[in-house]
C-alpha cells in the first residue's frame, strides 16, 4: 500500500462522513425517496420470510436473545439491539431473496439496514432522520462495493458492506461529519474474509457474515461516538491490499448527484443472483416445448461458471447450484422457497435433470461484463435444440426493472400473504412523517408476525 493511496482514501472517507452528517430527507429527490422506501419494504418482507425458515428459528432459539426494544421481524418478539441487528440480518439473506446492486457486486441494504433499524428502535429518531440513515447506509456501502475488487475466491458478504452499517448507525446517533468519517473508517477495518466456497458448499456461516457486518457497523459507530477513534484510511489496506483492490476515486465520485439506490435490483427467484438470468432463460424455454428436456448447456460469464455443482447438501448449496435451479425451473416453473424444502431437494427427477446440465464459461459473455451478466441456455427437446439468451435478470435496473407495485405483488406471492406486504408498505410509506420512528418499527414488527 502506498501512502498517497491511503491519503486519498482518508480524504474520500472524510468527505463521505460530512455528506452523511449533512444528509436531509427533505433535500433528497422524490424518485430516490420512493426507491429507498421500496427497498425498505423489500428488506422487511424478505426478512420476515426468512424468519419462518426452520434453520432460522433454530438459530434464534439457540441464541436465546434477551428482551429489548428492537423488533425481531416475523416473530412478534422484541430483543436487544445487537441481537436484532445480527438475527434480522441473517434472516434477510436466508432465502437469497434480498435486493442487491450489480455494479457494487453484492447487497448494500442487507449489510446495514438491520443495524440501523435496530439502533433506531432504541434511540429516539424521527422518521425523516431514519430515512436519511437508511439512505446513507445504502449509498456508502454501494460506493465501497463499486470501489472494491475482491480477490478471486472471496465472497462479498461481510466485508465492503460493513461501512454501510457504520455510516447509517452514525447518522442515527447524530454524529458530526468528522465523527461519521471515523465510523466509516473503523467499519472498513472490520471486514470478514469469507471464502466463496462456503456458499457453494452450503455452509450457513455465509449468512452470518452479514450478521457480523451489522454488528461491526454498530461497533464502529459506537467507537466514533466515544471520540476515541482515529481516521487513517484503513480501507486502503483492509480492502485494498488484504482482500483485493480499492479505487479511492470511486468512493466519492458524483456524491449527492448519482444515487446508487436507483441502480439496484430486486429478486423473484430464491437463489444466487448469478443464476437468475439462467432461470429466466429456462422459464422461457419451458414455454416453447412439450415433453421432457434432454441435455442442457448453460453458457455463462466466468463469475457464474463456478456454480456448477450437481449435489446440494443444504438449501444454501442448492441456491448456488446452476444445475439445481435450472432443473427446478424447467420441471416446476419457478424457483421459490418451497422448492428448497427437504422433499424438493431430494426429488429424484430434479437430481436426474441436474446431472444433465453442463455449465460452461463463455468468452463472448465475459466480454459483456460488468454492464451485463449474460447467459445462454440450450436445451435438447423432442423438437430439437432450443436456445434462450438473457443479458441480465428480470428485475435488474438495466433490464425489465420492477416498479414498487411489481415488488409488492412479487413479495405478496412469495409470502403467501399479500395483506402482510400491504401493511408493511403502508407503514414504510408513513415513516418519513413519523415523529418517532420507533412507533413505525414496532408496527412493522407486529405486521410481520407469523408465529
User: Is the pLDDT score of 389 beyond 70?
Assistant: yes
Percent of the chain with pLDDT over 70: 99
User: Is the pLDDT score of 349 beyond 90?
Assistant: yes
What is the per-residue pLDDT for 344? 97
What is the per-residue pLDDT for 49? 97
Domains of the chain in start order, with CATH, are: 3-268+402-447 (1.10.4100.10), 273-390 (3.30.1330.120)
Q: Please state, in angstroms and rounded to a whole number, the distance separating the CA atoms of residues 178 and 40.
A: 28
CA-closest candidate to residue 211, choices 158, 144, 150, 161: 158
What is the per-residue pLDDT for 2? 64
C-alpha cell at 35: 426507491
Angle (CA) 194-196-199 rounded to 5° is: 100
Q: Determine the average pLDDT of the residues in 379-391.
A: 95
Q: Give the three-class secondary structure for 79.
A: strand
CA-closest candidate to residue 136, choices 97, 177, 105, 95: 177
Q: In angstroms, what CA-CA distances link 49 with 35, 41, 194, 237, 411?
A: 21, 12, 25, 37, 9
Classify residue 201 by burial, with Cβ atoms within 10 Å: 0-12, 13-18, 19+: middle
CA-closest candidate to residue 337, choices 311, 319, 357: 319
For every residue of 213-235, DSSP letters joined together read HHHHHHHHHHHHHTT------TH
What is the per-residue pLDDT for 217? 98
Local confidence band at 449 (pLDDT 50, 70, 90 cut-offs): confident
CA-closest candidate to residue 444, choices 71, 47, 69: 71
User: Is the pLDDT score of 154 beyond 70?
Assistant: yes
414 contact partners, CB below 8 Å, separation of at least 6: 45, 46, 49, 97, 270, 336, 337
163-210 pLDDT, tens digit per residue, is 999 999 999 999 999 999 999 999 999 999 999 999 999 999 999 999
75-89 pLDDT, tens digit per residue, is 999 999 999 999 999
What is the per-residue pLDDT for 383? 86
C-alpha cell at 251: 468512493
Residues forming a β-bridge with 380:
385
What is the per-residue pLDDT for 1? 52
Residue keyed to cell 462522513: 17
Q: Average pLDDT, whole number, for the chain?
A: 96
CA-closest candidate to residue 213, choices 302, 299, 143, 110: 110
414-446 pLDDT, tens digit per residue, is 999 999 999 999 999 999 999 999 999 999 999
User: Is the pLDDT score of 324 beyond 70?
Assistant: yes
Classify residue 406 by burial, with Cβ atoms within 10 Å: 0-12, 13-18, 19+: middle
For every residue of 261-301, DSSP letters joined together read GGG-B--SSSS-GGGHHHHHHHHHHHTT--S----EEEEE-
Q: In angstroms, what CA-CA distances link 298 with 215, 274, 329, 336, 365?
A: 38, 12, 13, 20, 12
Beta-carbon count within 10 A of 419 CB: 10
Amino acid at each position: 500500500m502506498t501512502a498517497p493511496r491511503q491519503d486519498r482514501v482518508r480524504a474520500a472517507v472524510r468527505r463521505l462522513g460530512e455528506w452523511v452528517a449533512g444528509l436531509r430527507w427533505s433535500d433528497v429527490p422524490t424518485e430516490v425517496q420512493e426507491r429507498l422506501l421500496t427497498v425498505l419494504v423489500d428488506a422487511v418482507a424478505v426478512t420476515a420470510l426468512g424468519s419462518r425458515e426452520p434453520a432460522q428459528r433454530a438459530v434464534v432459539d439457540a441464541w436465546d436473545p434477551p428482551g429489548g426494544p428492537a423488533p425481531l421481524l416475523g416473530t412478534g418478539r422484541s430483543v436487544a439491539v445487537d441481537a436484532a441487528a445480527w438475527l434480522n440480518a441473517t434472516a434477510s439473506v436466508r432465502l437469497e431473496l434480498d435486493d442487491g446492486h450489480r455494479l457494487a457486486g453484492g447487497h448494500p441494504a442487507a449489510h446495514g439496514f438491520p443495524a440501523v433499524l435496530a439502533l433506531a428502535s432504541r434511540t429516539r429518531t424521527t422518521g425523516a432522520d431514519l430515512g436519511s440513515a437508511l439512505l446513507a447506509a445504502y449509498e456508502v456501502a454501494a460506493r465501497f462495493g463499486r470501489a472494491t475488487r475482491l480477490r478471486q475466491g472471496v465472497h462479498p458478504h461481510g466485508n465492503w458492506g460493513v461501512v454501510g452499517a457504520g455510516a447509517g448507525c452514525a447518522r442515527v446517533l447524530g454524529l458530526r461529519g468528522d465523527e461519521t468519517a471515523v465510523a466509516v473508517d473503523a467499519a472498513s477495518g472490520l471486514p470478514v474474509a469469507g471464502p466463496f466456497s462456503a456458499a457453494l458448499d452450503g455452509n450457513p456461516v455465509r449468512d452470518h457474515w452479514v450478521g457480523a457486518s451489522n454488528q461491526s457497523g454498530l461497533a464502529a459507530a459506537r467507537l466514533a461516538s466515544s471520540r476515541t477513534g482515529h481516521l487513517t484510511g484503513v480501507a486502503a489496506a483492509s480492502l485494498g491490499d488484504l482482500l483485493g483492490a480499492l479505487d479511492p476515486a470511486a468512493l466519492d465520485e458524483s456524491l449527492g448527484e448519482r444515487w446508487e439506490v436507483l441502480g439496484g435490483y430486486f429478486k423473484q427467484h430464491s437463489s444466487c443472483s448469478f443464476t437468475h438470468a439462467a432461470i429466466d432463460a429456462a422459464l422461457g424455454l419451458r414455454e416453447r416445448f412439450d415433453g421432457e428436456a434432454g441435455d442442457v448447456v448453460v453458457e455463462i460469464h466466468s463469475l457464474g461458471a463456478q456454480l456448477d455443482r450437481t449435489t446440494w447438501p443444504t438449501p444454501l448449496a442448492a441456491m448456488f447450484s446452476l444445475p439445481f435451479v435450472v432443473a427446478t425451473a424447467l420441471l416446476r416453473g419457478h424457483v421459490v422457497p418451497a422448492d428448497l424444502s427437504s422433499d424438493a431437494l431430494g426429488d429424484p427427477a430434479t437430481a436426474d435433470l441436474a446431472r444433465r446440465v453442463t455449465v460452461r464459461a463463455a468468452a463472448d459473455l465475459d466480454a459483456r461484463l460488468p454492464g451485463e451478466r449474460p447467459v445462454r441456455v440450450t436445451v435438447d427437446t423432442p423438437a430439437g435444440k432450443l436456445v434462450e439468451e438473457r443479458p441480465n435478470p428480470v428485475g435488474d435496473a438495466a433490464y425489465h426493472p420492477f416498479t414498487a407495485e411489481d415488488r409488492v405483488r412479487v413479495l405478496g406471492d412469495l409470502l403467501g400473504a399479500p395483506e402482510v406486504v400491504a401493511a408493511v408498505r403502508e407503514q414504510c410509506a408513513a415513516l418519513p412523517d413519523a415523529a418517532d420512528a420507533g412507533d413505525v418499527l414496532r408496527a412493522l414488527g407486529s405486521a410481520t408476525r407469523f408465529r
